[in-house]
């Protein structure tokens, strides 16, 4: 491997340097019909699951075929996607917020043909490369984080839990049989890079053991005041320990105050939390971000802990499908999962989903907890 220079000269870093140009303007990338009718769209229809038709004031129509992807994708795969876009769509495509790919065409018959073609493309292991779906009253692709693939704080894997979940709810991706859209999101630690706190169903990696303290190295690797300041509950304080006759500057942790957020570890690598038995998944439900009918809402924890059981996390997918089925049977048309649960009452929700309500589901974290307790005698038996 010989180093190839692209033209950058480390001796003169400022020579020819281009900075702060941002992304290219999006109009460079718009498919011609889209560009022509920009801001002049009249209405849309979902022709079949995964196939959209948008009609503009001019009478022009554009047909979109939407397919799911594993968002972790290789350049070989992206080139395959480009080949399809070149052959069918004049070299244009887009990605959705939820990591779906959209191919846009001007001809309805061709769009339906493309759907067939995409559903027929398989990876060597047998999975579908570009399953078409993710529209309307169904489950669309899962937004998720990095997990064991690439992050230092995860309590579980992201790509694996997502693959297992999407396999389990695949019918809801390719059909539109649910009462309303169901957005599933995944984040592998409480940092929630994926911002799962407002999803119909949220898969969240959690730790359950306080950090292990690497006393001998802590002072070399970390700024102790930063580690102390990082703790939201004030559980970390400066301390000294003696090991083999030597005194080390380090920290002490009030373990009963720890809520396992990993903030201290982010500040200080000598405070790892990861642990095979301690780590796993919490499931949250009932959040939404749209203002449609009801207000945006936070997700609520309904299962405090499910152990990590890779590669397929069967206990997790079992609960998710149970919740989806109960919702599908019980909810009214247009009613989001959280609205359904609130209507029937959360005590009833636990019953119909066959979930255990435990002490861990009663909030005890700071002021907002109070607003989740019941201040009325209106409840159901």
Partner 1 sequence: MAKHKTPLLDQLESGPWPSFVSDIKQEAESRAKNEKGLDYQIPADCPEDLLGVLELSYNDGETHWKHGGIVGVFGYGGGVIGRYCDQPEQFPGVAHFHTIRVAQPSGKFYTTKFLRDVCDLWDLRGSGLTNMHGATGDIVLLGTQTPQLEEIFFELTHNLNNDLGGSGSNLRTPAACMGMSRCEYACYDSQELCYNLTQEYQDELHRPAFPYKFKFKFDACPNGCVAAIARSDLSFLGTWRDNIRVDQEAVAAYVGGEIAPNAGAHAGRDWGKFDIVKEVVDLCPSNAISYEGGKLSINDKECVRCMHCINTMPRALRIGEDTGCSILCGAKAPILDGPQMGSLLVPFIEVNKDDDYQAIKDVIEGVWDWWMEEGKNRERVGETMKRLGFGALVRAAGVPIDARQVQEPRHNPYIFWKAEEVEGGWERSIDDFRKRHQR
Which residues of the chain form contacts with ligand SF4 (CB under 6 A)? Answer: 145-146, 151, 153-154, 187-189, 191-193, 210-211, 230-231, 233, 235-236, 253, 258-264
207 binds ligand HEM (CB under 6 A): no
Closest CA to 118 of 103, 106, 138: 103
Strands 61-67 and 51-56, by their bridges, are antiparallel
175 binds partner 1 (CB under 8 A): yes
145 binds ligand HEM (CB under 6 A): yes
Strands 61-67 and 101-105, by their bridges, are antiparallel
210 binds ligand HEM (CB under 6 A): no
What are the CA-CA distances from residue 60 to residues 84, 225, 254, 379 (Å)? 23, 62, 65, 54
Tokens of 136: 């309307």
299 binds ligand HEM (CB under 6 A): no
Nearer residue to ligand HEM within complex by CB, 137 or 316: 137
100 binds ligand HEM (CB under 6 A): yes
Options 24-32, 247-255, 344-352, 373-381: segment touching partner 1 (CB under 8 A): 24-32
Tokens of 350: 């636990």
Closest CA to 104 of 177, 39, 44, 40: 44
Cβ 329 to partner 1, closest distance in Å?
11
Residues found in the chain: 381
Cβ 381 to partner 1, closest distance in Å?
28
Options 18-26, 209-217, 238-246, 349-357: segment touching partner 1 (CB under 8 A): 18-26
Closest CA to 155 of 125, 193, 121: 193
CA distance 182 to 273: 32
Which H helix or E strand runs over 321?
helix 314-330
Tokens of 116: 């067939």
**Judged by CB under 8 A, how many residues of this single chain contact partner 1?**
143
Cβ 4 to ligand HEM, closest distance in Å?
28
Decide which of ligand HEM, partner 1, ligand SF4, none touches 211; Cβ closer than 5 to 8 Å per partner kind: ligand SF4
Cβ 128 to ligand SF4, closest distance in Å?
26
- Binding to partner 1 in span 32-71, by CB under 8 A: 34, 38-39, 41-49, 54, 62, 64, 68-71
318 binds partner 1 (CB under 8 A): no
The three-state secondary structure class of 148 is helix
């Amino acid at each position: 491997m010989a180093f190839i220079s692209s033209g950058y000269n480390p001796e003169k870093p400022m020579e020819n340097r281009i900075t702060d140009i941002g992304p290219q303007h999006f109009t460079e990338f718009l498919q011609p019909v889209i560009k022509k009718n920009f801001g002049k769209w009249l209405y849309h229809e979902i022709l079949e699951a995964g196939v959209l038709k948008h009609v503009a004031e001019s009478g022009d129509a554009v047909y979109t075929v939407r397919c799911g992807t594993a968002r972790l994708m290789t350049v070989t795969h992206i080139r395959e996607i480009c080949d399809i876009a070149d052959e069918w769509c004049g070299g244009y495509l887009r990605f959705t917020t939820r990591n779906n790919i959209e191919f846009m065409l001007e001809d309805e018959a061709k769009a339906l043909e493309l759907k067939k073609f995409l559903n027929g493309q398989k990876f060597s292991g047998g999975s579908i490369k570009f399953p078409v779906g993710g529209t309307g009253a169904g489950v669309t692709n899962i937004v998720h984080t990095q997990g064991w693939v690439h992050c230092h704080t995860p309590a579980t894997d992201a790509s694996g839990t997502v693959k297992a979940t999407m396999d389990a709810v695949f019918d809801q991706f390719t059909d539109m049989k649910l009462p309303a859209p169901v957005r599933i999101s995944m984040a592998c630690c409480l940092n929630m890079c994926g911002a799962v706190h407002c999803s119909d169903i949220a898969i969240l990696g959690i730790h359950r053991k306080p950090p292990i303290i690497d006393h001998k190295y802590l002072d070399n690797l970390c700024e102790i005041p930063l580690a102390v300041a990082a703790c939201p509950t004030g559980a970390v304080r400066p301390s000294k320990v003696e090991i083999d006759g030597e005194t080390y500057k380090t920290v002490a942790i009030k373990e009963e105050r720890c809520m396992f957020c990993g903030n201290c570890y982010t500040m200080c690598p000598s405070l790892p939390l990861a642990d095979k038995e301690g780590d796993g998944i919490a499931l949250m439900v009932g959040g939404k971000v749209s203002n449609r009918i009801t207000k945006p809402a936070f997700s609520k924890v309904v299962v405090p802990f499910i152990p990590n059981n890779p590669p397929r996390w069967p206990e997790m997918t079992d609960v998710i499908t149970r919740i989806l089925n109960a919702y599908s049977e019980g909810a009214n048309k247009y009613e989001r999962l959280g609205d359904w649960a609130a209507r029937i009452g959360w005590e009833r929700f636990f019953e119909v989903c066959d979930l255990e309500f435990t002490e861990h589901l009663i909030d005890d974290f700071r002021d907002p907890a109070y607003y989740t307790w019941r201040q009325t005698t209106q409840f159901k038996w």
